[in-house]
Amino acid sequence: MSDPFAASLRASLEAWERQAAAYWDSLIRSPDVLRRISRQANLTLDTTRRVTQTLERAGLPAPASHEGAARELYLLERIAHQLDDLAARIADLESRLDGP
Amino acid sequence: MDPELLERWAGLWDAGLRAIWQQYAAAGESLREQGRALAGQTPASVVYTEGRARVLRYHPLVESPRPVPLLCIPSMINRYYVMDLTPERSLVRFLLRQGIDVYMLDWGTATPPDRYRTLDESIAGVLRRVVGAIRRASGQPAVSLLGYCMGGMMAAVYTVLFPQDVAALVNLAGPVNYHDDGIYSVWTRPEWFDADRLVDTLGNIPANVLNTTFHLVRPTDQLIQALNYWERRDDPAFLRAFAALHLWLNDPTPFPGEIFRKYVKDLYQQNQLILGQFTIHEQRIDLGTIAAPSLTIAARRDHIAPWESVAVLHEMIASQDKALIVLESGHIGMVVGSDAHAKLWPRLAGWLAARSGGESSAPPT
């Protein structure tokens, strides 16, 4: 494409984009639109949870079947980090007390 | 939609935009690959790890770095390397050249156990241990904090909780007021946004969900990016920055569920922080008690963190040594834009250098 054409295309696109973006912005701020999106999203989330619960009850693998283990792992990791930090602070204190 | 807008769109598409878009879309993976080779390349050593998080200490670029270290705290939603985007467009490298001893907290990529990680633990636990590790490594009693976006809020809250740890505070585009006309403030209103349902169902908020919402703020901008790419695709210098930013914009990380829940409910929905109702481990956070030297930086065209919602921190704090910079820029452009090195970096580096000890600061180069 020639440069004058490209310049013209850019000018036209930028003008269009500004208007389209303004229209879009008003749309995605509209309470009515946001409520409708929210209703649909909530339906999807609720369906997801029902599927997961059904899989669990059937004894089949489901994301939530790892929930308990994930939480325990998180807590164990946290304790480990706290202990490591405590050990580092004690070591630092010991080196200061021992002096140069 | 206005039929005239649709008609103009069809005209643009047929006039050449289709070919331009197809070329841009086809280049996506190669751009991201190029970006991966460039982003976050400033040499550093990992000096601390905790779970998925790690702390980088960048190798000095001067013989004698200033004694007070600086910890950069990025948002948890996007990758840390925005502050080290390419070798030519790196806030980190600029600060290193000014003699600042720079550390970076990389929050890492959340895994399923991280859905239980809390914002309280992240600030009063993880961040506290990170700062402690840096204090021990540097031998300094206090550390300067530079928080970007959500990291700015975390740095400010940390300074309230542990003022003895903080030599200076820089809030870079971190909102402390969450009720404004910014799009995220609108989208998260409790009338239509059920954070509990989302977290209880999904756990961590998936990266692709976050990425989609980012692009939905102004989806038509992708067309301008396509045209920018097409016009300058043979310009290697342009492509380097473009590719790295393209990678970063398409490289979000899952958001830990419990952190998301509190972030949305306590901050976006209830605006607790500016109202003095926000708590961390049941300790109330009063931003007015911040007395450390503080620099607040906002951007007038910031649609993610509206500038007034960032700048208000400057009015609230008790610091005697404080400054406010409001840039004619956007949220991302202020850090990595083509003129960031002229608009922001020297002022930020000069302010920090003057408060980092060592030889008196020369003008930033």
ipTM of the complex: 0.86
Token pair in block for residue B66: 């200033």
Judged by CB atoms closer than 8 Å, whether chains meet at B116 and A1 is answered as no
Q: B50 forms bridges with which residues in the sheet?
A: B53
B298 forms beta bridges with B326
Q: How far apart are CA B45 and CA B140, in angstroms?
A: 19
Mutation choice for B interface testing from A16, A25, A76 by most B CBs within 10 A:
A16
Does the beta carbon of B141 lie under 8 angstroms from any beta carbon of chain A?
no
Closest to B182 (Cα-Cα) out of B173, B169, B172, B191:
B173
- pLDDT of B365: 41
Which is nearest to B197 in space by CA: B208, B187, B205?
A: B205
Task: Kindly list the residues from chain B whose CB atom is less than 8 angstroms away from the CB atom of residue A74.
Answer: 113-117
Per-residue pLDDT at A67: 60
β-strands B69-73, B322-327 pairing: unpaired
Disruptive mutation site among A74, A82, A90, A95 for chain B (greatest number of B CBs within 10 Å):
A74
Give the model confidence (pLDDT) of B215-271 as tens digits: 999 999 999 999 999 999 999 999 999 999 999 999 989 999 999 999 999 999 999
- Name the residue in chain A with its Cα closest to that of B195: A42
| CA nearest to B63, candidates B364, B358, B350, B363 | B358
Minimum Cα–Cα distance from A68: chain B residue: B113
B residues 32-51 lying closer than 8 A (beta carbon) to A:
50-51
- pLDDT greater than 90 at residue B6: no
- pLDDT value, residue A98: 79
Identify whether the C-beta of residue A38 lies closer than 8 Å to the C-beta of residue B192.
yes
One-letter amino acid for residue B121 of the chain: E
Q: What is the pLDDT of residue A62?
A: 62
Residues on A contacting B at a C-beta cutoff of 8 Å: 1, 5-6, 9-10, 12-14, 16-17, 19-21, 23-25, 28-29, 31, 34-35, 37-38, 42, 45-46, 48-49, 63, 66, 70-71, 73-75, 77-78, 81-82, 85, 88-89, 92
Helices A3-28 and B221-232 meet at what angle, rounded to 10? Answer: 160
Q: Are B62 and B95 in contact (CB under 8 A)?
A: no
pLDDT, tens digit, 9 for 90 and up, residues A21-76: 999 999 999 999 999 999 999 999 999 888 888 888 888 766 554 566 777 777 77
**Per-residue pLDDT tens digits for B114-146:** 999 999 999 999 999 999 999 999 999 999 999
- The DSSP code sequence of B67-94 is SSEEEEE--SSS-GGGGG-SSSS-HHHH
Residue B338 has pLDDT above 50, yes or no: yes
Q: Does B14 touch chain A (CB under 8 A)?
A: no
* Contact call for residues B362 and B73 (beta carbons, < 8 A): no
Whole-Å CA distances, B29 to B33, B36, B334, B336: 6, 10, 26, 21
Query: Residue A84: its pLDDT value, please?
Result: 82
B72 as an active site residue: the answer is no
Residues of chain B found within 8 Å of residue A45, distances taken between Cβ atoms: 197-198, 201-202
How does residue B339 score in pLDDT terms, banded at 50, 70 and 90? Answer: confident
Q: Which residues have C-beta within 8 Å of that of residue B308, sequence separation ≥ 6?
A: B177, B180, B298
pLDDT at B312 over 80: yes
Instruction: Please pick, among B56, B72, B123, B149, the residue that the annotation labels catalytic.
Output: B149
pLDDT at B360 over 50: no
Q: For residue A58, give both structure tokens.
A: 């059937």
Give the model's pLDDT for residue B12.
87
Question: Considering chain B, what is the average pLDDT of its residues?
Answer: 94
Pick from B17, B112, B186: which is nearest to A29 by CB? B186
Does the pLDDT at position A1 exceed 80? no
3-class SS of residue B354: coil
CA distance A60 to chain B (A): 18
Which range among B19-23, B92-96, B331-335, B357-361 shows the weakest confidence by mean pLDDT? B357-361
Which pairs with CB-CB distance under 8 Å and at least 24 residues apart come from B257-260? B257/B114, B257/B115, B257/B116, B257/B199, B257/B202, B257/B203, B257/B204, B257/B205, B258/B115, B258/B116, B258/B117, B258/B118, B258/B119, B258/B199, B259/B76, B259/B117, B259/B118, B259/B119, B259/B122, B260/B195, B260/B198, B260/B199, B260/B204, B260/B205
Confidence band for B359, pLDDT divided at 50, 70 and 90: low
DSSP-based three-state secondary structure for B284: strand
